[in-house]
Amino acid sequence: MLPSLAELEAASRIVYRRMLPTPAIAWPLIAERTGCEVWVKHENHTPIGAFKLRGGLVYFDDLARREPDCPGVITATRGNHGQSVAFAARAHGIPATVVVPHGNSAEKNRAMRAFGAEIVEHGHDFTAAYAFTRAQAVERGLHLIPSFHPLLLRGVGTYALELFRAVAELDTVYVPVGLGSGICGVIAARDALGLATRVVGVVAEKAAAYALSFAAGKPVATESAETLADGVAVREPDGRALEVILAGAERMVTVGEDEILAAMAHYFADTHNIAEGAGAAPLAALMKEREAMRGRKVGLILSGGNLDRALYVRALAAG
């Protein structure tokens, strides 16, 4: 399932029709704070403010060729995947419906509507929203876009290809884990380039399904995923993603809500960048492991910067 180097390079050409490569920056204050040489991959600088756009662009490029008369698409999301689908669907002139759970980020919902998507609210969390989405796809005759798919993985893997080619000899890269496309993309790019970089997944303590699954060596679901980091708020792992993670990741790190809030505040103080909860989680994990990681050359995936103002005020106050 993992894409080859040629497939990642082909995906990059598709992505670059709509966006430029994102920067990787070594921030000195982050280095002081962590005791490492730290390179931040700024996926908060894409046209939707998150890495997910890359996957949507590659998926829709394929869909437009396979189903030129596609009547519309439907997907479930907590926000960034939905923005990716809405952005790419509009670029191809395809109607998009996005299902979100009740209580989803109001500002992410506004952004998806701005890209032209119809927003439907259903269920109390992502898992419930996704089950409803599958039924709606059949009932309404819409093309169902999952949140984890080989084409999405191929697209998001382009950010890792950029990082590894821009920054040589990274010892470790910390990656937030939602359903898994981001970390699988990093593993794919690392393996395609023949590198020895360690890949570390990061999850929230309140949404620890992938950490539990990694420890057990098999999918382990949780009863809830009530974390402020909605980009990693998953309670049922994807089996295909877990297989890649088990084979290619060094370890999984769990971080608490206060640690995530602190990392969000650190990003603002040290770089003046906005990091959503999932985007800040890798920095939180490095802070947690800084004694063991001291002196190493580390990459952090700042996966997105989309969050509601009230939560950001809370993060800055906590910091």
List the catalytic residues.
52, 303
Instruction: Spell 267-280 as b/e; 16+ CB within 10 A means b.
Output: bbebbebbbbbbbb
Question: What is the C-alpha to C-alpha distance for residues 19 and 238, in angstroms, rounded to an integer?
Answer: 28
> CB–CB of 63/85 below 8 Å?
no
Question: What is the C-alpha to C-alpha distance for residues 79 and 115, in angstroms, rounded to an integer?
Answer: 12
> CB–CB of 303/182 below 8 Å?
yes
Other CB atoms within a 10 A radius of the CB of residue 35 amount to 16
- End-to-end CA separation in angstroms for the chain: 41
SS3 content of the chain, % helix, strand, coil (to 5): 55, 15, 30
Pair type for strands 73-76 and 37-42: unpaired
Structure tokens at 35: 């005791």
Other CB atoms within a 10 A radius of the CB of residue 290 amount to 15
